[in-house]
Structure 1
Amino acid sequence: MKTAKILKVATFFSWFACIGLTIKSGAILVTYLLSISNPEASKNMYESLNLFEYYNHSFLNYSIIVFYKIVLFSVEAYIAYLVIQLLKKLNIKQPFNIDVHSLMRKISFAIFYLWIIAIVHNTHIQIIGKKHNFELSLFSSDFVFLSLVIFIFAQIVKRGIEIQSENDLTI
């Protein structure tokens, strides 16, 4: 019973994260669209994100940086959604199933893609920021280890499915 309650709490927090990250992506997109006609909007895009210097330097670079941020937060929201789906498909009595394995692999790959996008974003920000002495707003890029851990767990689930299938055949 305790595990079921923990999974319900995890589902709640996953929904909370998914909705919050979707709102964050949307807020940045709306602020970007507003900043096209009003450059002052780029000073406080979301949670005091200030990209005004980038806007003044190059609208193209500014647009690319905003695009990175929207994609990064959207991918994080997608990962939270995949976790919700994983928690829905998880059967405590028979946790090793193909849906769980598939979702764990998707989560692992999504986190890996997030890491790649974060690295590209950070490199772009650092090149422009250091060249022009702008404020650097880097995205955390510690995702590769997490991606590997989840991928390993997915392989363990896959092996569990194989053992479970072998046991079903012998009965």
Structure 2
Amino acid sequence: MSKRNNFIWKGIQVICWLIFFGYCIQTGALIFNYVFSLFKPIATHNLHLGLDLSELYLKSKSIYTLVFALIVVISALKAYLFFVVLKLFKTLNITKPFSENVSGIITKITYYTLSIAIISIVAQEIVSQLSDKGYNVGIVERYWNDGGAYLLMTAILFAIAFIFKKGIELQNENDLTV
């Protein structure tokens, strides 16, 4: 690998580490804020980066918990997705990239992106229904407004996983004929 490509490869890894740490911190902050808001309801006015669910908390604690659980689950899944991507960087051998381990990790990444997409779309629909019923959900959509992007990424990753499976077959066939 050339120095330029190696630099880009390392840069992508650093960016993935930063995103992973960011989502871990976000998930931890969200969990802490939820637990804290159960004991101090005044905290529902500014839960995380301006998120105000105080009206939702006063109307229904169970719906408040549902919305907050969706936020936490999506954030945690995104953190774990980037953890698996970092595992891919560690496993991937550039000189011989087609291996069962790499294919398995790419398939796992595909499933996690699909999970994030589905949960995001379901959460968006739930919050839309709550808004129609008069619940004020604030700016909660920003936690899952990228469900469509994750769905598109799932389709792309599915194609890449398929290519890797074919690559493994061709590589094994090539190894047998040599």
| Pairwise same-fold verdict (TM > 0.5) | yes
Instruction: Give 1:5 deviation, angstroms.
Output: 2.0
How far apart in 2 are the matches of 1:39 and 1:153?
A: 47
CA RMSD of aligned residues (A): 1.2
**2:62 aligned residue:** 60
Question: Normalising by structure 2, what TM-score?
Answer: 0.91
How far apart in 2 are the matches of 1:84 and 1:170?
A: 34
**2:106 aligned residue:** 104
**SS of residue in 2 equivalent to 1:95:** coil
- Does the 8 Å CA contact 1:125/1:136 hold for their aligned counterparts? no
In structure 1, list runs of 5 or more residues that go unmatched.
none
Q: State which of 124, 138, 154 in structure 1 corresponds to 2:161.
A: 154
**2:96 aligned residue:** 94
- Does the 8 Å CA contact 1:35/1:42 hold for their aligned counterparts? yes
- Please list the CA deviations of residues 10-68 of structure 1 after superposition, one character each: whole Å capped at 9, or x if unmatched: 11111111111011011011011111121121121111122112111100000111111
The count of corresponding residues between Structure 1 and Structure 2 is 171
- Does the 8 Å CA contact 2:52/2:139 hold for their aligned counterparts? no
- Please list the CA deviations of residues 64-122 of structure 1 after superposition, one character each: whole Å capped at 9, or x if unmatched: 11111110000000110111011111111111111111111101110101111112211
Instruction: Give 1:133 deviation, angstroms.
Output: 5.2
How far apart in 2 are the matches of 1:133 and 1:102?
A: 43
- Does the 8 Å CA contact 2:107/2:158 hold for their aligned counterparts? yes
From the superposition, tell whether residues 133 and 68 of structure 1 become closer, same or farther in structure 2 (CA, over 3 Å).
closer
